[in-house]
Amino acid sequence: MISFSSKTAKVLYSIVACVLLMVVYDEAWRVTALLGLHSASLLKFIIGYSIMFLGVMILTVIVVKPKELFSFLGLNGNIAKGLGIAFLCVLPLFIVFPIIGSFNTDTTFSFILRKSILPGFMEEFMFRAFMFGLLFRYAKTGLIWAVILPALLFGSLHIYQGHDVISSLAAFGVTFLGAVYFSWMYVEWNFNLWVPVGLHILMNGAWVIFTMEGTEVAAGGLISNIVRVISILLAITITVWYKKRSDTKIFNYPVWQF
């Protein structure tokens, strides 16, 4: 373990580590391509995500004590509570989508694993637990500063979903805002990673299990985005209510300070 004494060194390591993880991300898929695995193969995703998981653990343990690793990455949070909160927040999608849209007949357990569960967990593990965690929890930057880099990187991964400049920017914008939302929920629920993981998996799930206008891309359509906004407002309401009930404040931490 390396112990950096200055905040500047901690911030620099956090940034370098984020960039290195994106290199690991690219190389992980390059490895699966070299193995000749089909693009829709479940094994491809398992191998690729396993490489990324290992990358996160190695880059984290460089600056965090091994015994504190799971706590730092939010993996020791109450799973049932985290997933339960996420389910309540995402419930509007699972009420409206079946009514307005239709069931995707291509849905299988393998399909849900590839399109919802695995990416939902790994993206939160990489971008929230690791990248955001290093900047916010380790380097002690304000929330906004800690959100920006992971959100930019997270959003950039979804640009490919657009078929032109406008739709690419829309996909980037929606996923960027999603990263901000997930980061805020992660902090407010005491770094229980299972809250944003549950939100991400269930939102992905609604997008792939049901077929309606906009669900073929991250940007979504008019109705799907209205329901998504309702879901986010519900999540904010539940969070604020919980904080008041437990006599704690929201934004009870540095927000703009660098």
How confident is the model over 194-207, as pLDDT tens digits? 999 999 999 999 98
Q: How far apart are CA 160 and CA 46, in angstroms?
A: 22
Q: How far apart are CA 46 and CA 43, in angstroms?
A: 5
Give the model confidence (pLDDT) of 116-174 as tens digits: 999 999 999 999 999 999 999 999 999 999 999 888 887 777 665 655 667 667 767 77
Q: How far apart are CA 218 and CA 161, in angstroms?
A: 7
Find the length of the chain: 258
Give the model confidence (pLDDT) of 220-253 as tens digits: 677 888 899 999 999 999 999 999 999 999 999 9
Residue type, 98: P
Indicate the helix (H) or strand (E) that contains 211: strand 210-211
Q: Is the predicted pLDDT of residue 19 greater than 90, yes or no? A: yes
**Helix or strand or coil: residue 172?**
helix
Give the model confidence (pLDDT) of 32-81 as tens digits: 989 888 878 899 999 999 999 999 999 999 999 999 999 999 999 999 99
Q: If you average pLDDT over each of 7-16, 172-181, 222-231, which comes out highest?
A: 7-16
**What's the pLDDT score for residue 165?**
64
